[in-house]
Amino acid sequence: MTELGNRLKEAREAKDYSLDDLQRITKIQKRYLIGIEEGNYDAMPGKFYVRAFIKQYCEAVGLPPEVIFEEHKEDIPTTHEDEIPVSLSRVQSRKSVSESSTKVFDFLPKLLIALFVIGALIALWVFWQGRVGDKEPEANPSENRTQVDVDENQSAESEKPEEAADDDKKKTDENKLSDDQNAGEEKEQKPEQSLDAVNTSGYKTTYELKNADEFKLQLSAKGDTWVGVYNTDDELLFEGLLKKGNKKDFDFSGEKQAYLVIGNASNTDIIVNGKQLEYKVSATDVVRQDIIINYEPQSANN
């Protein structure tokens, strides 16, 4: 057992916490807590998570994490190697963006010339069509007069049927308007789903899901991330390391709460009923985040 492990264990026992108590408080599995106290980090998901778990352990037992990291830096693995790929990927992204921007600017003058030529051809075609239309022969006046006489006779004969048709159309329009109003009222009566953050404390954020008929949740990994998922009764539904592209789906429609432990928030998207949850706390500022989502079914609100 390392000096750091002894110090953490003494602080835990001073708080009269068992390992089970600490697991319930931190949402860190007992085997990881034992590994921290014994200085055995091989079972951890990675160096990054070792530091995150130790920080959470310190906060739970009342020790200042910054002081602990400084005084026991020889016992705690660094994460410089883990951070190098991220830095390189950012450099490569900037380079690719710069190269693509240069190609766009090279192509822009050619595009403008092509658009100008096309516009000129369209304008010429419209002008030519107008000239052709102006040259169309006028209709024979005698034929126009005959047509007018016929139209007057037809108008006199069909005047009453048109009045009846107008009345029918008026009634149809009134019925349609009434149906549209009823549909609008029904639409207004059913509010849209909302997912709002109601409380934030350190690494924990509580959300409330309202006006939803179901509660379906998906965790989608954009990179390596360690996650834990608990239900209303604090039962562990899933725990493990998700790789880039991995997804996990859960149905909490019959639950009142979902408790999520997100080991790397910047690499984890949380989708609730098809809509992405926005982290209240910046994922770059607080890497490990606990997300609590309280759910009240739509039927309970009516």
Would you place residue 75 in the very low, low, confident or very high pLDDT band (cuts 50, 70, 90)?
confident
pLDDT band at 295 (very low <50, low <70, confident <90, very high): very high
Token representation of residue 228: 């834990």
The hierarchical CATH code for the domain 3-71 is: 1.10.260.40
For residues 66-70, average pLDDT: 92
Average of per-residue pLDDT across 127-153: 55
**Quick one: pLDDT band at residue 182, thresholds 50, 70, 90?**
low
State the average pLDDT over residues 26-41. Answer: 91
Secondary element (H or E) of residue 262:
strand 257-262
As a whole number of angstroms, the distance between CA 18 and CA 13 comes to: 7
Helices (H), the chain: 3-14, 19-26, 30-38, 47-61, 65-71, 80-134, 141-157, 159-189, 298-301
Closest CA to 60 of 199, 204, 198, 265: 204
Length of the chain: 302
Position 92 pLDDT exceeds 60? no
Please state the domain extents for the chain: 3-71, 194-301
Is the pLDDT at 156 greater than 80? The verdict is no
Listed residue (195, 302, 206) closest to 260, CA to CA: 206
Split at pLDDT 50, 70, 90, the class of 106 is low
Eight-state DSSP code of residue 39: T
Mean pLDDT of 252-267: 94
Per-residue burial over 75-89, b if 16 or more Cβ lie within 10 Å, else e, is: bbbeeeeeeeeeeee
Whether the pLDDT of residue 151 is over 80: the answer is no
Mean pLDDT score, 90-117 = 61
pLDDT above 50 for 91: no
Which residue is it, tokens 């380079």? 95
Nearest-angstrom CA–CA distance, 233 and 209: 18
Dihedral over alpha carbons 166, 167, 169, 175 (to 10 degrees)? 160
Percent of the chain whose pLDDT exceeds 70: 69
What is the average pLDDT value for the chain, to the nearest integer? 79
pTM greater than 0.75: no
Characterize the bridge pairing of strands 275-276 and 268-272.
antiparallel
DSSP character at residue 280 = S
Give 119's pLDDT tier (boundaries 50, 70, 90): confident
Distances (CA, A) of 116 to 103, 110, 127, 147, 182: 21, 10, 17, 47, 51
CA 78, CA 268: separation in Å to the nearest integer? 23
Q: Which of 117-131, 133-147, 157-171, 254-268 shows the highest mean pLDDT?
A: 254-268
* Residue 265 three-state SS: helix
Predicted confidence (pLDDT) at residue 136 exceeds the cutoff of 70: no
- Using DSSP, state whether 257 is helix, strand or coil: strand
Rounded to whole angstroms, the Cα distance separating 226 from 241 reads 4
**Looking at the predicted structure, is the pLDDT value of residue 147 above 60?**
no
